[in-house]
Amino acid sequence: MIEVEGLTKRYASQTAVEDVTFSVREGEIVGFLGPNGAGKTTTMRVLTGFLPPTEGTAKIAGNDVVTRSREARASLGYLPESAALYPEMRVREFLAFRARLQGIRGPEVRRRVGEVIERCLLSEVAGRKIDNLSKGFRQRTALAGALVHEPPVLILDEPTVGLDPAQIIKIREMIKDLGRNRAVLLSTHILPEVDAVCDRVLIIDRARIVAEGTPQELRTRLAGSPVLRVALKGSVPARGPVEELPGVMAVEQEDAGAETRLRIECAPGTDLSEEIFRLAVAQGWVLRELARDTVSLEDVFVRLTRHEETRPAEVPEQTQAPATPGGEAVS
């Protein structure tokens, strides 16, 4: 559904995106992560038809964004971070306007508008002016506008920014539902959101893709040797017996009077939790804690994108195609 091959975008003396290649399949939600200035925004601008690439290709539902730009945009629903809405319009009126901009006519407009109102849970506010909506309902209205022409591909830029926890949960549920039969590229700075919603993750840094995989694959790749943390009641000479277990590489012991704490580094690919538990039972130790250290997605992101020097900001393009409310370019 989304196919990017060797994508490069240069501005004079600066390269904003260099040799980027990835794909997003139907039924897949892919998180797109990167620090400010890494090339994420430029990549999305190329995909949505706002910028031409310097080199490489990008296709939406099989349509090249340069040579078949009209067809590519017709296959794409785009929700920018700050979606343009007409505050004086009522929700239903705005969605009908968006449908007509996409070339939908006659009774089909009413049908499409009714479907996205139901799908985005907008029935209770369909007759209200957008200016009177909460931020959560405004975001749902913008999402409905991106869906009204039934696109097979969605690009969502920070869809939950500024929302309260309850609103975030609703938007996440909608995104997961939409991703069942669409290709979804989700850009966000909220890393727990990626864990909650995405099937795969792309991390871009300094204009290049530096990591790709499922959230669990990325955590495992950077975790190194598994580490167990153990707490035992009282002062216990546990280090020696633990070191004798097969698969134990190193043991650190800290005695805190009423408690003995151990940090146990295990051989890669092993989980010695069961062996530690059995040893504690055999030795008569009172086990208070047995936990495995985990690497968070935030840890992965920081390790892959941390640099000493300052990263330059992305250079904005001076000429862009005009956009409709919601961000699609109009041809």
Would you place residue 13 in the very low, low, confident or very high pLDDT band (cuts 50, 70, 90)? confident
Q: What is the pLDDT of residues 243-294, one digit of tens each?
A: 999 999 999 999 887 899 999 988 887 889 999 999 999 999 999 999 988 7
Query: Worst-scoring range by mean pLDDT, 153-157, 257-261, 312-316, 318-322?
Result: 318-322
In this model, does residue 85 exceed pLDDT 90?
Answer: yes
CA 5/CA 19 separation, integer angstroms: 7
Beta bridge partners of 264: 228, 251
Q: Enumerate the domain spans of the chain.
A: 2-206, 221-284
Per the prediction, the chain carries an average pLDDT of 90
CA 29/CA 178 separation, integer angstroms: 9
Q: What is the pLDDT of residues 91-105, one digit of tens each?
A: 999 999 999 999 999
Tokens matching residue 176 = 């997961």
At residue 320, the pLDDT reads 44
3-state DSSP helix/strand/coil percent for the chain, to nearest 5? 35, 30, 40
Mutual angle of helices 107-119 and 91-101, in 10-degree steps = 120
Would you place residue 106 in the very low, low, confident or very high pLDDT band (cuts 50, 70, 90)? very high
Beta bridge partners of 329: 323
Q: What is the CATH number of domain 2-206?
A: 3.40.50.300
Name the strand (E) or helix (H) holding 132. Answer: none
- Per the model's pLDDT, the better-predicted residue between 267 and 3 turns out to be 3
Query: In this structure, which topology does domain 221-284 adopt according to CATH?
Result: Alpha-Beta Plaits (3.30.70)
Beta bridge partners of 211: 203
Q: Are residues 232 and 43 in contact, defined by beta-carbon separation less than 8 angstroms? A: no
In this model, does residue 295 exceed pLDDT 80?
Answer: no
